[in-house]
Amino acid sequence: MNVAQDLSVLTLFANASLLVKMVMAILLGVSFTSWYWIFRKSFAIRIARAKTDEFEREFWSGGDLNALFNTAANDRHNAGALARIFEAGYREFNKLKGQKTLDAKDIIDGSRRAMRATYQRETDDLESHLAFLATVGSVSPYVGLFGTVWGIMNAFRGLANVSQATLAHVAPGIAEALVATAIGLFAAIPAVVAYNRFAHDIDRVSIRFESFMEEFSNILQRQLR
Contact call for residues 56 and 212 (beta carbons, < 8 A): yes
Contact call for residues 199 and 130 (beta carbons, < 8 A): yes
Contact call for residues 107 and 224 (beta carbons, < 8 A): yes
126 domain residue, yes or no: no
DSSP SS3 for 131? helix
Angle between helices 65-74 and 81-97 (to 10 degrees): 120
What would you report as the CA-atom Rg of the chain, rounded to the nearest whole angstrom?
A: 28
Residues 182-213: pLDDT tens digits?
A: 889 999 999 999 999 999 999 999 999 999 99
34 domain residue, yes or no: yes
75 domain residue, yes or no: no
117 domain residue, yes or no: no
Number of domains present in the structure of the chain: 1
19 domain residue, yes or no: yes
42 domain residue, yes or no: yes
Asked whether residue 3 carries a pLDDT value surpassing 80, the answer given is: no
The Cα–Cα gap between 69 and 166 comes to 77
The Cα–Cα gap between 213 and 123 comes to 14
Question: What range does the domain containing 153 cover?
Answer: 3-68+131-224
The Cα–Cα gap between 141 and 119 comes to 35
Regarding predicted confidence, which is higher, 196 or 178?
196
Query: Among residues 84, 106, 81, which one has the least CA distance to residue 95?
Result: 106
Regarding predicted confidence, which is higher, 10 or 47?
47
45 domain residue, yes or no: yes
pTM value?
Answer: 0.82
Residues 57-81: pLDDT tens digits?
A: 999 988 888 899 998 888 888 888 9
Contact call for residues 59 and 89 (beta carbons, < 8 A): no
Asked whether residue 155 carries a pLDDT value surpassing 80, the answer given is: no
Compute the Cα dihedral for 192, 198, 202, 204 and give only its sign. Answer: positive
90 domain residue, yes or no: no
